[in-house]
């Protein structure tokens, strides 16, 4: 009987041991699944971070282009303002000129161009002669 009792005790111990081993194996499998799930989530996070970095890079590039365009526009505006200022000064200074001599250049009737024989030197000579003829009295060149 003692042997039967020891056999039963031994059976119960082995049975509990196998149950414990089975529970531990189940826990190991659950841990493996949780680790795989965590790895998948981490991989998704890395992919999302990569996409966010790409978007940030595109946004930075767009901002850089906008800044370059704005700087070019500002430079153009400064140049335009300077040109406008020069024109305004020339126009406002027109009243400061003193008319010394007047000249006229006459074209043939129904003509708006000069003939081929009237080269720039000949035109200047004609203007000079006519200007002297029409020069106001008392004024000298």
With a threshold of 0.75, does the pTM exceed it?
Answer: no
Whole-number mean pLDDT of the chain? 77
Q: What are 30's two structure tokens?
A: 């659950």
Q: Based on the fold, state whether residues 104 and 71 are members of the same structural domain.
A: no
pLDDT at 141: 47
Q: Based on the fold, state whether residues 41 and 88 are members of the same structural domain.
A: yes
Q: Residue 114 phi/psi, 5° resolution? A: -90, 150
Alpha-carbon gap, residue 37 to 35, rounded angstroms: 5
The three-class DSSP label of residue 125 is helix
Cα end-to-end distance, the chain, whole Å: 154
Stretch 3-18: mean pLDDT, rounded?
79
Q: Based on the fold, state whether residues 67 and 78 are members of the same structural domain.
A: yes
pLDDT at 53: 93
The residues, ordered by sequence, that sit 6+ positions from 103 with a Cβ below 8 Å of its Cβ are 127, 128, 130, 131, 134
Q: Based on the fold, state whether residues 92 and 41 are members of the same structural domain.
A: yes
């Amino acid at each position: 009987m003692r042997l039967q009792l020891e056999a039963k005790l031994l059976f119960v111990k082995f049975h509990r041991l196998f149950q414990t081993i089975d529970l531990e194996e189940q826990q190991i499998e659950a841990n493996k699944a949780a680790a795989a799930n965590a790895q998948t989530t981490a991989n998704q996070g890395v992919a999302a971070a990569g996409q966010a970095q790409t978007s940030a890079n595109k946004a930075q590039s767009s901002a850089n282009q906008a800044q370059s365009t704005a700087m070019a526009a500002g430079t153009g505006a400064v140049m335009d303002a300077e040109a406008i200022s020069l024109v305004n000064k020339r126009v406002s200074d027109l009243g400061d000129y003193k008319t010394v001599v007047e000249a006229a250049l006459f074209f043939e009737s129904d003509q708006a161009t000069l003939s081929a024989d009237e080269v720039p030197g000949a035109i200047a000579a004609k203007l000079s002669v006519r200007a002297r003829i029409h020069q106001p009295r008392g004024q000298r060149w």
